[in-house]
Amino acid sequence: MKDIRGIDPQLKGIAKKIPYNRFMILVAKPYQTLALKCTKIPDGVACRRVLLTENGRKLPIDIYEPAAVTDVLPCLLMIHGGAFSYKASVYHKKLACLYAAEVRCRVVFPDYHLLPKYPYPAAYEDCLAALRWIVENAESLRIDQTRIGIAGDSAGGTLAATLCNQMTAEALPFPCAQMLVYPAVDATMSTQSMAQYSDTPLWNSRNNQKMWKLYLKKADSVLIRKASPMQKDLPDMIPQTYIETAEYDCLHDEGVLYAERLREAGANVDLNETKGTFHGYDSAIQTQIARTQIAKRITFLKKCFSCEK
């Protein structure tokens, strides 16, 4: 593996190697549920929960929004990462609140169904249901239907990219933005960084291989192509795109290659290759390095949401 002594000193405290297996998934769920409940909503942000039903499954959705604001606002469908296996982490909740407050938008945050019980396409169907619900209820939700963005990190980036590539096929309005943070977009795992980073902090190629195996367990070749954005045919229209990669991350190269693929298809892509970072580095949300990159995401969203349609 390539030397990773270049990791930013601010991130040393979270630079732990974490195994990925069914036992870890089982153990993490109650802890994450409790941690999320105990994480306070900051002043200036309100949160409400709705419960949808998709394919006979209950789908909880949290909406984070500027407090006491009744104006029609843009909307960000934010899809959390976690290897399609883990619930949202505390920092995901903090990010959702930060985006709502700083961008002044409504952040729709689905609690989609997870591995190992629910392989593909369950998570995609949940996120698609959340997006349809936004579009169909935009007036009552006080959401500007012309200013809907889709964002996701890691496995959430997979789902966000898949949704953006399926908007025409799903007969949904064209989104004004897609924001992909160190996304997993290539099920073939054939890049150089995938070969290099097999034991990096928080996530690595060995874990990544296990994840795709679980996620695509019940998928045939057609579904596998649909589930992997790098293999899926791109639509004629591609939203304004922000892709962020981490330097010491097995997913680094596929993020760069996906940006190149989108550009070749005519998309406007902001590629932010962060340095001294590893997958999930922004969970250290109070560090300066994380804050600097999060500010770039906020700038991108503000730019997309301020465009006249």
Distance, first Cα to last Cα, the chain:
47
Question: What is the mean pLDDT of the segment spanning 92-108?
Answer: 98
d(CA 208, CA 7): 21
Q: Read off the pLDDT of residues 5-50 as tens digits, 9 standing for 90 and up.
A: 799 999 999 999 999 999 999 999 999 999 999 999 999 999 999 9
Could you give the percent of the chain with pLDDT greater than 90? 93
For residue 58, is pLDDT > 50? yes
Binned at pLDDT 50, 70 and 90, residue 117 comes out as very high
Is 306 noted as a catalytic residue in this protein?
no
| pLDDT 10s digits, 182-205 | 999 999 999 999 999 999 999 999
Residue 154 annotated among the catalytic residues of the structure: yes
**pLDDT tens profile 142-175:** 999 999 999 999 999 999 999 999 998 999 999 9
> What is the rounded average pLDDT of the residues 238-254?
98
Q: What is the pTM of this model?
A: 0.96
Q: Is 80 a catalytic residue?
A: no
- What's the rounded mean pLDDT across residues 251-269? 98
**pLDDT value of position 309:** 41
Which of 89, 154, 193, 283 is catalytic? The answer is 154
Mean pLDDT of 287-301: 98
Greater pLDDT, 218 or 43: 43
Asked if the model's pLDDT at residue 77 lies above 70, the reply is yes
More confident residue, 224 or 135: 135
Considering the candidates 153, 249, 253, 282, report the single residue annotated as catalytic.
Answer: 249
pLDDT at 1: 44
Percent of the chain with pLDDT over 70: 98
Please spell the DSSP secondary structure of the chain, one letter per residue: ----TTS-GGGGGG------SHHHHHHHHHHHHHHHHHSPPPTTEEEEEEEEEETTEEEEEEEEEETT--S-EEEEEEE--STTTSPPPHHHHHHHHHHIIIII-EEEEE----TTTS-TTHHHHHHHHHHHHHHHTHHHHTEEEEEEEEEEETHHHHHHHHHHHTTTTTT-PPPSEEEEES----TT--SHHHHH-SS-SS--HHHHHHHHHHHTTT--HHHHHHH-TTTSPPPS---EEEEEE-TB-TTHHHHHHHHHHHHHTT--EEEEE-SS-BTTGGGSTTSHHHHHHHHHHHHHHHHHHTS--
Rounded average pLDDT over 115-139 = 97
pLDDT over 60 at 308, yes or no: no
- Residue of 8, 186, 279, 282 with catalytic role: 279
- Residue 111 pLDDT > 60: yes
